[in-house]
Structure 1
Amino acid sequence: MSQPVPWVPPVLYGAVLSGGVYYDAVGPGLAAATAAFAGLLTGLILLDLRPPALPATVVFVARILVLCGVSAVDASGLSRVLFVLVPFLGYFAYGPVVAAALGTGCVTAVAAAFTLFVPQWWTRAEYISDLLMFALGVVLATSMAAVAVRERTARERVAELSAAAERNRIAREIHDSLGHHLTALGVQLETALAFGDLDPPRAAQAVTNARWSAGQALEEVRTSVRTLADGPLDLGGALEELVRRLDGGPRRVTLTVSGEERRPLLVLYRAAQEGLANACRHSAATEIGLSVLYDDRGACLRVTDDGRGFETAGEGFGLRALRERVALADGTVDIVTSPAGTVVKVDVPW
């Protein structure tokens, strides 16, 4: 029987044990009854501290029977409070409906015991007060169990959501980094094939760039798997490297930077990767422009191309991941596309 607050029963057992022993010490208690009372409560404490390898229902029923035994030998009457543990523990084992039934049964059993052993108890304020306080204790114990279960469920849900968010983050990192480098690799290999006979030095440089992109792709995968993708330290230099590796062949890629960079923004680097990769892979563009404007409010990145555009309703994983990433940075993404070209604009505050 698993419960989020396992300390409650032993603490309650210990409090009742101390109170009952003290009552028997100062009152007309019987040594044999006191010994039985202390022995049964000690057994309950050990039962909770070291639960046996038995079915939960067997342990639950055994606990109720021992509680009845404790109540029978308790001269002080303090052990009645222990029966609030029946619905409390029943909530964890069987749910709220069974717990409510057990709580009602416990209150009814106490009332029945008063009827059997205390004549006209319903006319005596102390017994009416005892019954009401016991009923309130049952309600509070059941409510405490419900709160504990909901809290545990909420923690488990948070853990699941955190794991899902981490998986999505790693997926975005792999897509953004690996996808870009594979695109660059394809572009450079196309250049090498196109200029192999016409311009051998240029073809050789394209192969060199392709090898660099392959190495970078491998390193990015290793970094993402280790979840240590901290991004570039020099955003301006990283963007220049992106453009240099993609420029050439059937397309021309240019970079324009205005203003002063206050701090590197990984989200801009990933946005540039995604925008350039899409322009190179899907648009058949011949002119691609990457521009970054820094001002007092933040940074604005634009990727423009003269390609054939695309259907915005059909955005793939990359653009959806980019929107999620930018939203986490309190930024915005605007995409305008037509058969005459596409503009991807990303604004991110400092």
Structure 2
Amino acid sequence: MRSDRSKNEPTNFNEGELRPPQSQRTVSTSVEPDQLEDGGDASKDKDVRDELTAALKNRILSHYEDKLRKHETDTELYGTEEKNNKAQTYDAIFQKSKKEEVRTVLMKGIAAVGKTFQTRRFMVDWAKGKTNNNIDLIVPFHFSELHTRRDKVQSLKDLLNSVDDKHRSFFMYNECKVVFVLDGLEECELPLDFENNKELTDMEESASMDVLLTSLIKGKLLPSAHLWIISQPSGVDKIPPEYIQKVTECRETSKRRQKLISRLKEILRKENTQDEEINHPNQKNTEHIIREDRRSEVDDEARNGRTVKPVNQVSDIFKAAKGQTMRTVLTVGEPDIGKTFHVQKF
């Protein structure tokens, strides 16, 4: 099955795309010791952070705003452990409750349901200042892109710098709120050896991509960061559950389900016309009956030898005696007697 990503370009940005415009770039100058004592270094770091945040927001909007505007939001996020079954907002993604914040969230969903769309809507809403105003930077990567760097030894800081210019080398990531959006876990070909990999704690220590990822997901590297990991159901077991604090599911809205149902009914009506139903050779020569399994039950009807009954309406096919519902029904019959006809009629 193809992932959401196969329909669109990768979520992460290539090198240089997040560079601030020339008019916004700062100039690195020497700082006197008295300036450092007066907070000059902290002020410079804040300027760089604000500059990078603004550049990133502009880039996200230029990449995705127009594309998202053309698509209707027909999916919603639900917490798998919540009982109220209410759709979640983007502001609540990293919250388990009103008082409890979580670090790592896994969003799962079937292929093509709209998971990547949700991550892009999340980033666009942040860039517009609609949600998550406490976040300073969003760093999107796709696992297939990270796999291409599997043989390169680098630090987490090098990885972050690879998607921006030299200003990030001055940036103190542990002093701001960073969110990693890691899409396509089911496509990850790295071993993700959580048990045997070295646990890194220094952002400037170099290691393989697999070690960087396991250390980041474990919370050893940049523990202040948040992670939003996206996967089809086939990939969720790649990360041990103890490193996931919250699981959400991307589902279709009821409006989208109704559209799909209406479309399917229209297709079936076109394939099985009324003329075919009237002219079917076995229309009047066959009868659909149900033979009930009474091995665990003996009643008067069984004693009298009545073990079958006609299906008056095809819609009753899953209805059992005493108001119960059957899950699986097997229809048998001789060749060409009309089994397919009854299925089409259903």
TM-score (norm 2): 0.26
More helix, by proportion: 1
> Which of structures 1 and 2 has the larger relative contact order (alpha carbons within 8 angstroms, sep 6+)?
2
Larger radius of gyration: 1
